[in-house]
Amino acid sequence: MKKIQNHILAKEGCNDYRTEHLEIELWSNFPIEKQAYKTYTRDLYHKFREEFELIGRYNAFQVGADIFELRPNKEFVAKYGSRNYLVQARVEEGSYLCECCKMDKDGILCCHILKVFTHIGVDVIPERYLLRRWTPTAVPSAPGTGYEQPDEMPPQSKKQIRERNMIYDFRKLAKFASGSDPAQAIVYKHMHTARTEIGHLNKSKKKKKTNCCHGAIR
């Protein structure tokens, strides 16, 4: 009878039924998966696990003081394609940001941040990333989610991410345009135009900043 009841509960997807009541074999021995198993509802643990299983599809490389680049070790990763992703990891602050923005969109951490956790030895998911609405004790009408938007990424980190993204895109463009001289000429023409426009943009910003400083002095 108990087995039948458990089967019905599983089939109906009762999100408020604690995961430990229906034994599930963990995918790994990582402490963060055990934490997710104990914290999330059963359905959310399964979503977490699907994401966590993708960590093996990436290699993590530190490319800045607190920036990691996640590169697929195979040509294609389900849901994420073949591109690289950058993660900012402020370990001391417990703040982690990925440019895929899965946490903001879906309310659970992405495989890129989870890969960084396993890469640098983070064994506990910060509470700010465990939304209350995904836990068995959640009250649907309760205000708030328990998640606070991390501080804005510093300018230098943003610059690094933009640079890495452009390098990635330029590499693909170069491969695409290297097939003929006319194609290469098109790329160089637009690069020259881009340099000119960016030069004008930077001069305009510099002039505006100078005017603001003079205004403040007066």
How confident is the model at residue 149, as a pLDDT?
Answer: 45
- 74 vs 57: CA distance, rounded Å: 7
Closest listed residue to residue 21, CA positions, set 3, 44, 46, 48: 3
Burial class (CB in 10 A: 0-12, 13-18, 19+), 99: buried
Q: Give me the mean pLDDT over the 191-200 stretch.
A: 85
pLDDT given at position 128: 87
What is the pLDDT confidence band of residue 177, given thresholds at 50, 70 and 90?
confident
Which DSSP string corresponds to 126-171? -GGGS-GGGSTT--TT-S--S--PPPPPPHHHHHHHHHHHHHHHHH
pLDDT of residue 192: 85
- Neighbouring CB atoms inside 10 A of 69's CB total 20
In this predicted model, what pLDDT tens digit does every residue of 47-63 receive, in sequence order? Answer: 999 999 999 999 999 98
Strand order in the sheet with 95-98: 58-62, 67-72, 85-90, 95-98
Of 60, 51, 40, 70, whose CA–CA distance to 111 is shortest? 51
Q: Which of 58, 77, 76, 82 is nearest to 68 (CA)?
A: 58
User: What ranges do the domains of the chain cover?
Assistant: 2-134, 155-217
Region 177-196: mean pLDDT is 88
Q: How confident is the model at residue 4 (pLDDT cuts 50, 70, 90)?
A: very low
SS3 state at 9: helix
Q: How far apart are CA 96 and CA 126, in angstroms?
A: 9
Q: Dump pLDDT digits (tens) for 87-142.
A: 999 898 888 999 888 888 888 899 999 999 999 999 999 988 888 777 775 444 43
Task: Kindly report whether the global pTM for this prediction surpasses the value 0.75.
Answer: no
147 pLDDT band (50/70/90 cuts)? very low
- Give the distance from CA 211 to its chain's centroid: 39
Percent of the chain with pLDDT over 70: 72
**Cα atoms in the Cβ-side hemisphere of radius 13 Å centred on 199:** 6
Sequence-distant (6+) residues with CB within 8 A of 198 are: none
The answer to whether 167 touches 159, Cβ cutoff 8 Å, is: no
Task: Give the mean pLDDT of 37-46.
Answer: 88
